[in-house]
């Protein structure tokens, strides 16, 4: 067993729920790490001895970002779709079929390399936990393959067979829902922790409330936790369905009614509203009012939604900066939502905060304060602190 004491921390952000914005900021603190866990934290002058010392030279240290919504197992490129969107073509989910075709055509090793590259890109920007969805296979074999490969890199794997109705089932949607809730679900269950569905009445490719309910209840019966893509392209039933079924998270929440906000506030502690401002950026959509959600008592998280269609960014610092500039959060609220909030959406308390016994997932900033994540937008100041000798 070897230990490291991290010293010279300009600002230690623990996200322990205390102090301004719940950030639990400590000045002059040190952290002792043993076997990947926080063994001690407190004033540097009182730090116990350790095998190694790592001085971070006055930089800010915070819990690693938790990216609780990402679609990273895909091949192909949709840059043209992005360019067309910037010229006025609205997003409707139809481009997902392009990624499905490219992903099906890729070999296991190609997909594995693409995934590894994207996870490494995230880690280099301070993300230490990432959730990875399937959803570009949409056959039993291709969905199993995506989740099997994702499981090699993360335990937070999500079955998204109900991403869109694939072209070959366009004339018989019910048959596809039967496949997703039957043989496909059974085959992917060993590799998935969560089930998700794109519940969206404003896309002909996505799923209705009744279809989504069938997918989620089947997933729950198979032992999976529930996540929902909801209220992305317009007002819709996703939020209410997520709350009704006790989902851990409903993601996007771009278009919320007052009743949706009330339902989310009542469900705080069970259902987190995961906001994905990179999607609003990349689809020219209005940003939801995150500050109003907090005032209403809604539990919120921030994530990238890194995917080839609506947001091909792997950057949690970018998301934090957008949440501050465009969604009304303070820099501290945004950091909390990107760490402790996202951990909550994954029902994890061993990540997203720094406390004795939690995972020692540390992110360090080339800056003295967490405020610089949004103040210095676009500058690569965040990175995972590698503690291995
Ligand atoms: N909206 C559904 N799924 C993704 C986009 C997937 C794609 O366009 O490839 C999202 O979260 O935005
Ligand atoms: Zn998504």
What's the pLDDT tens digit per position in 13-36?
A: 999 999 999 999 999 999 999 999
91 is in an annotated binding site: no
pLDDT of residue 32: 98
Average pLDDT, the chain: 98
With 0-12 CB in 10 A as exposed, 13-18 as middle and 19+ as buried, what is 68?
Answer: buried
> Under DSSP, is residue 12 helix (H, G, I), strand (E, B) or coil?
strand
Ligand 1 environment, Cβ below 6 A: 71, 93, 95-96, 99, 198, 229, 232, 279, 305, 307-310
Q: Please tell me the distance between residue 267's alpha carbon and the centre of ligand 2 in angstroms.
A: 21
Q: Please tell me the distance between residue 131's alpha carbon and the centre of ligand 1 in angstroms.
A: 15
Alpha helices in the chain (DSSP H): 79-86, 96-105, 108-123, 140-151, 173-179, 185-188, 209-221, 238-245, 258-266, 277-283, 290-296, 316-327, 331-336, 342-345, 372-375
- Ligand nearest the Cα of residue 75 is 1
The rounded average pLDDT for each run of 10 residues, N- to C-terminus, in the chain (389 residues) is: 95 97 97 97 97 98 99 98 98 97 98 98 98 98 98 98 98 98 98 98 97 98 98 98 98 98 97 99 98 98 99 98 98 98 98 98 98 98 89
pLDDT of residue 204: 96
> Under DSSP, is residue 33 helix (H, G, I), strand (E, B) or coil?
strand
202 is in an annotated binding site: no
Atom of ligand 1 nearest to the CA of 69: 11
309 is in an annotated binding site: yes
pLDDT of residue 389: 55
Q: Is the dihedral of CA 348, 354, 356, 359 positive or negative?
A: positive
Q: Which of 6, 15, 5 is nearest to 370 (CA)?
A: 15
Q: Please tell me the distance between residue 155's alpha carbon and the centre of ligand 1 in angstroms.
A: 21
Q: Which of 201, 215, 275, 307 to mutate to test the pocket of ligand 1 (most atoms within 8 A of CB)?
A: 307
Q: Which of 239, 243, 129 is nearest to 193 (CA)?
A: 129
Radius of gyration of the chain (CA): 20
d(CA 353, CA 24) in angstroms, rounded, equals: 10
Condensed to tens digits (0 to 9), the pLDDT of residues 342-382 reads 999 999 999 999 999 999 999 999 999 999 999 999 999 99
pLDDT of residue 388: 73
d(CA 17, CA 385) in angstroms, rounded, equals: 23
- Residue of the nearest CA to atom 2 in ligand 1? 198
In the chain, DSSP finds a helix count (H) and a strand count (E) of 15, 18
For ligand 2, a single-atom ion, the residues with CB < 5 A are 305
- Ligand nearest the Cα of residue 163 is 1
d(CA 56, CA 48) in angstroms, rounded, equals: 18
Tell how strand 127-130 and strand 132-133 pair up.
unpaired
């Amino acid at each position: 067993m070897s230990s490291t004491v991290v010293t010279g921390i300009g600002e230690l952000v623990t996200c322990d729920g205390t102090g301004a914005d719940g950030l639990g900021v400590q000045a002059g603190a040190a952290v002792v790490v043993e076997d990947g866990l926080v063994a001690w934290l407190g004033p540097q002058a009182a730090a116990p001895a350790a095998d190694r010392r790592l001085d971070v030279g006055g930089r800010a240290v915070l819990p690693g970002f938790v990216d609780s919504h990402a679609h990273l197992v895909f091949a192909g490129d949709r840059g043209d779709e992005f360019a067309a969107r910037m010229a006025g073509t609205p997003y409707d989910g139809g481009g997902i079929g392009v990624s499905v075709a490219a992903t099906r055509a890729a070999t296991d090793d190609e997909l594995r390399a693409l995934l590894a590259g994207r996870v490494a890109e995230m880690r280099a920007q301070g993300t230490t936990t990432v959730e990875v969805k399937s959803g570009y296979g949409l056959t039993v074999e291709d969905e199993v393959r995506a989740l099997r490969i994702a499981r090699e890199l993360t335990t937070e794997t999500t079955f998204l067979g109900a991403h869109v109705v694939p072209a070959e089932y366009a004339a018989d949607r019910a048959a596809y829902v039967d496949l997703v809730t039957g043989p496909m679900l059974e085959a992917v269950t060993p590799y998935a922790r969560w089930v998700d569905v794109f519940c969206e009445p404003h896309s002909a490719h996505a799923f209705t409330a009744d279809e989504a309910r069938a997918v989620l209840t089947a997933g729950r019966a198979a032992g999976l936790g529930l996540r929902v893509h909801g209220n992305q392209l317009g007002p819709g039933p996703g939020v209410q369905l997520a709350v009704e079924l006790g989902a851990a998270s409903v993601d996007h929440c771009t278009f919320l009614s007052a009743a949706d906000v009330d339902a989310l506030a009542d469900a705080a502690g069970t259902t987190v509203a995961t906001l994905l401002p990179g999607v609003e950026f990349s689809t020219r959509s209005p940003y939801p009012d995150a500050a109003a959600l907090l005032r209403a008592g809604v539990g919120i998280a921030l994530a990238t939604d890194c995917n080839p269609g609506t947001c091909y960014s792997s950057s949690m610092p970018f998301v934090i900066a957008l949440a501050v500039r465009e969604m009304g959060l303070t820099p501290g609220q945004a950091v909390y939502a990107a760490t402790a909030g996202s951990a909550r959406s994954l029902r994890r308390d061993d990540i997203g905060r720094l406390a004795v016994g939690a995972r020692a997932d540390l992110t360090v900033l080339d800056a003295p304060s967490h405020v610089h994540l949004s103040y210095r937008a676009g500058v690569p100041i965040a990175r995972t602190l590698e503690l291995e000798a």
